[in-house]
Structures are given as C-alpha cells and as structure tokens.
Amino acid sequence: MGKKLTIGMFGFGVVGQGLHDIIKTKNLNLEIKKFVIKNADKKRNLPAELFTTDANTILDDPEINTVVELIDDADAAFELTVRALRSGKNVVSANKKMIALHLEELTEIQHETGTSLLYEGAVCGSIPIIRNLEEYYDNELLHSVSGIFNGSSNYILSKIFNENQSYGDALKKAQDLGFAETDPTLDVGGYDAKYKLAIVASHAYGIYINPDKILNLGIDKLDHVDIRYAREKNYKIKLIPLAKEINSKEVVLYVLPKFLTKESILYNVENENNGVLVKAAFADEQFFFGKGAGGHPTGSAVLSDITALRYDYRYEYKKHLDAQQVEYTTDYELKVYLRYEDENTLENIVFNSISERFYGEDAKYVIGHINLQEIIDKRDLINRPGYFIAEIV
C-alpha cells in the first residue's frame, strides 16, 4: 500500500469536500489530520476539532508529511506551498494560477529540498493530462496540444449553440448552477485557460512562460452577429488554448475563440466537459475527454496525486533537461474573423491579407490573415465592446 500519508488540508470547499467524499470510501493508508479553513463559524459535516484557522497547525506539525492545498487565493497558496516544501512536506495543489505564475521557482525548490509538488487537478479536472505528458510523451515529439480547458465557458457556448440561448441567459444559467462566478471574467475572458496552458506547455515543451506574456481573448464580447455567422458556416465556437511547435526551435501559445467544423473532434465536447487533443510525431493524434469541473472529478485528480506520493512519485520535468529546448515566439500567422465597430479600425490594425469584408446595418467584420504579435499589440483596441475576434480553422 506504500508509505502512510498524514495529511493537512488547506480549504474545504467544493473540491475539498469532493476529495473527502472519495477518500472515506477507500482504504488508502492515509489520514487527514487537520483542515485549515477561512471561516471558523461555518457549519460543516465533520467534527469541529478537525478544523482550524491557524496555518501553523499544519505547517509546524512534524507528523504531517503531506499538504493538500485547495484554496482560491493564488498569493496565499504560493506562500503556503513554499513553506510546506521548505519544511520537507510534499504538496498536492489544484491552484492553476499559483502554479502557472510560480512554476519555475517551485520546481527549483523541489530540486533543492527533495520534496514533491503534484498538481494534476489544476488542469482539466479529471483528465490526467499532466501525468501523460510527463510519462507517456516524455520522449515524444509533440506537434501541438490544444483543447477545451475551461468547463464554464464551454457550458455557456453549448447552451448558445444547442439550445439557442443568448449569451446573457447562458451565462446566468452557468452562474445559477455554480459553473461560473458572479464575476465570470476568469473563465469567459480566457484567463483560466491561459494558466492551464502555461502549465501544459511546461510539461509538453520544457519551457517556463509567464502567463502574462500569453495572449488570451475570450467569449465575453460574443454577440448575436458572431453566432449568426457561425451558424451560416455550420461552425460552432469554442474557446481553445493552443500550444504548437511551429518549427524545431519555437513554440507558440495563445487562447482565442475558434470556429470549429464538424470534422474537429472538439466540436462535440459539450457543457462543462473538457477535451485535450495531443498531436504527436509518432503517436499521431490522441484525445482525452472528461469532466473539467466539479468536486468529485477534480477531487479524483487530487487523490491520484496523493496516492502517487505514497510511492515517492515526483515530476521529473524531463523536457526541461532536453538540450534541444525550444523557445517561445509570437511570430505566427492566424486566419481570423474580426467584428469591429469603429470604421477607422482597419486603418489601425495591420492584416497580412483580407479575403472577405462585410459591411451591414448591424455589423461590420473582416476575414483575413494576421500576425499573433499584431493581435497582442492591438489587444486593447480589439478587446472592447463592439468587437469580437475568433480564429478560423
């Protein structure tokens, strides 16, 4: 059964409770000794003596050898994770923002201390993509990794295209069901997908990228005009993060809405589900599908990491050790649809070529090829009310 793990857990929200539900059904040679929570007055379905608001109760306890971090504050999560690792405790986290922002430093701390930080639950819920990139694809040449990484935005788009709901109605339903926050920017703006993409890129290509350098434009400016265009062309719109090797030395990363045809395997990934498509030189195309959100799906990924620690599992970051390490680039041409409002817009955005223009009473848009760096440079112009940009296959 491996060595016994004595666990201290930070957070007891949706994922924490989902994880506990799973653990109590198993005999896994582990014990959760303490939970650190923010609100001591909140009623919970476990004995009160298991809970505390004092982080030191876990961090200073020599009997606790494993820390599970499941809070939503990236800065606090980073501080707790660093303290735990430096005190010799292994850590399992599901905080994608914290990991994406600090992965290089956290990797160095693991190497210095001999500890292990695992975070399968931070990327695509129940889909085991990080472990597969680390183990199955460790010596593989990856052409690209893309997919649907955010269940909230995908749920909204599914309601729009499958049930003819408006963006506003679909968003409200997602919020009512708990799929989207009161402020949904993290999801619909593509930030959540961007953090996950940065983590995926590290394990796929051996590069550390500050997420702030990755373009993310979301579905929050989606309008009935864009939906009508998609239906006329038999497209669906999905929010797609992409990591793609464009030559043997460079990788491009970005998050954009994308018009997908029925031929795309991602076309039928609906509701809160996620899908990850890996294209490789030798393994060809492989597709991973599963629940991208929720207490039990994400909790199952967290538990997988916990149980792996019983056998001293660590990420080896093998791609980072490769002498043929690639570099990040934004010099990449895309074919896009751009709906715009101001008639002077096209004088301020440089397209390499334009293949189609539409000028109507309720909308103006162009189809053309544009450099990724140009989109980044003109992001403030493009990402405002009356504008929407999406990649076309």
- Distances, alpha carbon 256 to alpha carbons 89, 231, 242, in Å: 38, 19, 8
- Report the alpha-carbon distance of residue 237 to residue 269 in Å, rounded: 11
351 closest CA partner among 331, 330, 372: 372
266 closest CA partner among 348, 146, 378: 146
Reported as half-sphere exposure (CB side, CA atoms, 13 A), residue 191 has a value of 11
301 closest CA partner among 176, 124, 133: 124
DSSP 347-383: HHS--SEEEEEEE-SS-EEEEEEEEHHHHHHTHHHHS
- How many residues does this entry show for the chain? 393
- Report the alpha-carbon distance of residue 78 to residue 340 in Å, rounded: 40
Structure letter (DSSP) for residue 241: E
- Distances, alpha carbon 101 to alpha carbons 81, 129, 270, 319, in Å: 13, 19, 29, 19
Residue of 89, 196, 238, 258 marked active site: 196
* 262 among known catalytic residues: no
In the chain, the DSSP E strands lie at 5-10, 30-36, 51-52, 66-69, 90-93, 117-118, 142-148, 215-216, 236-245, 250-260, 273-280, 284-291, 327-329, 333-340, 353-359, 364-371, 388-392
Give CA 363 to chain center in angstroms.
32
Strand order from edge to edge, sheet including 51-52: 51-52, 30-36, 5-10, 66-69, 90-93, 117-118
Residues recognised as catalytic: 196
